[in-house]
Amino acid sequence: MEKSPKSFVAALLLCFFLGTLGIHRFYAGKIGTGILQIITLGGLGIWVLVDFIMIVISKFTDSEGRRITP
């Protein structure tokens, strides 16, 4: 799988501090789900937690399907 040019650390920090606003999803180019996270406040925290874990284990992808890895 191809590596994303997006920064792993930036995605991790954005998710940790601004996850309920979906900022990490906007950073990754996933605009639609970013808007949904704003509306639902990160799926009441559950969606943010899942995204955070996915970023930590390097399974989170950008809008083109490339993994955001360290």
Give the residue extent of every domain in the chain: 8-56
* pTM reported for the whole predicted model: 0.93
Q: Which residues pair with 57 in a beta bridge?
A: none
What is residue 67's three-state secondary structure? strand
In contact, 59 and 50? CB cutoff 8 Å: no
Per-residue pLDDT of the chain (70 residues; tens, 9 = 90+): 799 999 999 999 999 999 999 999 999 999 999 999 999 999 999 999 999 999 999 999 999 999 999 9
CA 27 to chain centroid, in Å, comes to: 7
- Do 29 and 60 touch, CB atoms closer than 8 A? no
50 Cβ neighbours under 8 A, 6+ residues apart: 43
